[in-house]
Structures are given as structure tokens and as C-alpha cells.
Amino acid sequence: MGYGEQPYDRFVARLRAFGRNGAPFDVKREEGPRWTLCPPGHALDRLEYEIDLARMEDAVFSASDASKWREGYVSLLGYSVFAFVEGLESSPVRLEVKVPDEWPVFSTLAPGVPAGRGKTSASASDFYALADSQVIGGPRAQVRSLRAATPAVFLVLYSEAEAAVDLDLVGRLVTEAFEAVVAYFGSTPFAHYTVQQEYLRPRSDAHRYGLSMEHLESATFYLAADQALASHPDDAQRSRVLYNFAHHMAHAWIPKRCYGPGYFPFQWELAPLLDSIWFSEGFSQFAAIDALAARLAPEEAAVYRDRLVGRRFRQSLEEAPAFLRRLPLVELSYVASTRYGEDFRTGRTVFARGGLMAAEMDREIRRATGGRRSLRDALRALVSWSAREKRAFEIADLPERFREATGVDVRAIYHRWLAPR
């Protein structure tokens, strides 16, 4: 789900499948991340397996892709532990979690404070929603409710940083970013939202920290301990953290609920090639920038927007290798589909080009409408279209949808930014 491929089947052990009469089937390992659980014509009743979490964290170098197991703490990414069973992907799921009796445990599918003790349960509408969720437990997880009204907002923090992390301060920044993004989109397609923040001692020199990950109703921020928020952050750090929260929250709208082909239905056993990462990343990051800008007075907002667009997008594009700048943007999106973070030159170049396209469209819409409309109106309309249609948009239709929403023709900008630079 993070524009990469993680063969989590490597960490599965003692897989057993049973029929209705309780007798075990002869489970067969196939090519790829796949097992045949039962012979044709037989019904599967139960599946058992173990996951070696320590081995997962050792082998997966990207911190945002691995579940964690610590003394007094466990953190599970749904897609790294839950089996995809072909044929059951659309069925509703009931989740029951058991941990040691005295342990608090929290599911992002049914968050609450205080967290359940020893067990918790939740439902998911389908396998995608289950796989996209997180389970966090243990006495060393700090859980806080930040906002009781719908959508309720929760913060779950675990820290291995030397200095204590100021939970109040992290909570204030989460709330500020969340409120800005909700105001930007003008809709809240979920009843609750959870921010999971980890500050971890690096597992090895090869392990990488810093990439965060969006989900339907949560976001996971798995950073190294030395990236922990200082208790008195300077303006630059405060602004970086606020932007990173807003950026991943904006993804709950784009692309988790408003997306191009390949995002949903999702292909689990081989990462899909996506033609619209420049939109998912560039446009939602621009949305985050504009959402934070909207907290300021109009003149200040324009300055803030230009400064962040310059730093985040223009500078990234200037630093991008020429061979990536020369790729047509859709081709670069295909390349980034499986190596966005693995080789972040691809990720950075694809979001920078999309972000600059978004910024230019926003400027043009504001100019042509005398400031009455902006890209925000185009994105709100596209989000509504996606909620109504429940399917992927075609990227070729974007300029026309934006024109319908704003009355402004942005086709020339669209084509210029898709072309090789």
C-alpha cells in the first residue's frame, strides 16, 4: 500500500487450514505469496498461522512497512499480519484481539479511551478495511482522546526517545492539522481518526525511518528516536511536523477515497502499476499546504503557500536526476508504483511534478475567477464525484471535471506537466 512491495509471506509459520469436520487439509505452498488451503469443492472453516514479528522488523528496512514487538508494546499493521483469502475479500470482517489480561489494546477500527483491557473487538466492512487498520497494545502505549465530537480524534504514542515526548504538544499539532484539513475538504467521510506516532531506536544502520503512511481513518508516523518532537520546537520543526500530519491526513480523502485506477479494488499479491501517483501525492500535498495556509490572513496565506510550494516541490524538482525529469509523468508514476520510498528519487520527483501542476492550476483558477474559486473547489467536487460513483476516475477526465467545478480550463497546464521536462 505504500507504493512498494513487501513479501510478508516470508514471516508466516505453521500455517494450518481446517474443514468443517475439524480435520486439517493438506496445505500446499504455491509460487509467489500464495498457498492452496483446501482441495476444490471443500469448504474452509478455519485458518491458523503464526507471524514472526521480530524477523519481520529485522528484514523490512522501511520502518513504515513493519509491525513492531517490544517489551510492553505491540504495534500491528493490518496488511502485514492478516491473510488475504481469495473469494472472501468483499465479506464483512469481525475482528477479536486478545493480549495479556492487564494490557490495554486499541484497534483503529473501533478506537476508544480508555483502550480495552486484555481484549478488544471491532468490525470492518471488508478485507481492505481490515488490512488498512492497525492494532496497538501494551502498557507502554500512551493513548489520548483529542476530540470527542464526530469525527473523534485519537493519538497513540510510543517512544524510545531519550527525552520524554510532550504528549500535549503532539496532540495540539495533530488537532491543528486535522481541523485545517477537515475545513479544506469540507467533508468528513469517517466517524473517527487515529494518529499513531512511534519514535523508535533504529534496528540497524540499514533501517530507514521518516516515511509516514496514510490509511482510511488513521495515519502511522514511524520515526527514529532522534526525530522526536522537541518539547520546545523551533518554528521550522513545528512547521515540518504540522505539515507532515496535514499531508498524511489529506490522504484520507485523496487517494484513500478519491483515486485513479489501481488503488481500489486492490491487487494484494503483486503491487499494481498506478498512473496517478503524481495526483495522489502532488495534489493532496498541495491541499495540505493550502489547508494550513487558510489559517492565516489572505496576504500571509499567499506567502506561506508560495514558500512551501517552493521548498517542497520546486526545490525537489530542481534536485531530481535529469533522467527522471525527462520521463513522461505517467511513466514516472508507473516506476514509482513499486519503488516510491525504496528509491525516494522517484517518489520525490513524482510528487514534485504533481504538486507544481496543482499549484499552477490553483493560481490559474484564482486568477480567472477573481479569487472566487480555487483548486480546493475542484478537489471537493472530485471527492464528491468519487463518493457518489464509488469507482476510480480516469486521469484524462480530470481537466473536464475541474472545469465543471470551477468554470476554468486547466487543460494546457495538465498537458504541460504530464510531458517530459
Q: Which residues bind Zn ion (CB under 5 A)?
A: 281
Separation of alpha carbons 385 and 254, rounded Å: 12
37 in Cβ contact with 375 (< 8 Å)? no
257 in Cβ contact with 380 (< 8 Å)? no
Separation of alpha carbons 292 and 290, rounded Å: 5
Distances (CA, A) of 100 to 72, 73, 105, 130: 10, 11, 9, 22
CB of 281: closest distance to Zn ion in angstroms? 5
Distances (CA, A) of 227 to 67, 161, 242: 19, 9, 14
SS3 content of the chain, % helix, strand, coil (to 5): 40, 20, 40
Nearer to Zn ion, 256 or 366 (CB): 256
Nearer to Zn ion, 143 or 383 (CB): 383
CB of 151: closest distance to Zn ion in angstroms? 20
Torsion of CA 383, 177, 238, 73, to 10 degrees: -100
Distances (CA, A) of 26 to 21, 29, 38: 14, 10, 7
Element (H, E) at 324: helix 322-325
Distances (CA, A) of 27 to 4, 19, 44, 269: 28, 12, 11, 18
CB of 232: closest distance to Zn ion in angstroms? 28
CA 100, 101, 102, 107 torsion: positive or negative?
positive
Quote the longest CA-to-CA distance of the chain.
72
Separation of alpha carbons 108 and 252, rounded Å: 14
CB of 394: closest distance to Zn ion in angstroms? 22
- Cell 510532550 sits on residue: 166
CB of 117: closest distance to Zn ion in angstroms? 35
Nearer to Zn ion, 281 or 360 (CB): 281
Nearer to Zn ion, 198 or 281 (CB): 281
Nearer to Zn ion, 281 or 290 (CB): 281
CB of 386: closest distance to Zn ion in angstroms? 18
CB of 248: closest distance to Zn ion in angstroms? 6
Torsion of CA 208, 61, 70, 136, to 10 degrees: 90
Residues 6+ apart with CB under 8 A from 235: none
CB of 256: closest distance to Zn ion in angstroms? 11
Query: Which residue's beta carbon is nearest to the bound Zn ion?
Result: 281
Nearer to Zn ion, 1 or 76 (CB): 1
What are the helix (H) ranges across 369-397? 375-389
Nearer to Zn ion, 35 or 266 (CB): 266
Q: Compute the residue count for the chain.
A: 421
208 in Cβ contact with 57 (< 8 Å)? no
CB of 5: closest distance to Zn ion in angstroms? 18
Separation of alpha carbons 35 and 209, rounded Å: 32
Nearer to Zn ion, 37 or 246 (CB): 246
CB of 372: closest distance to Zn ion in angstroms? 29
Least Cα distance to 4 among 354, 200, 221, 270 occurs for 270
CB of 358: closest distance to Zn ion in angstroms? 13
Nearer to Zn ion, 141 or 332 (CB): 332
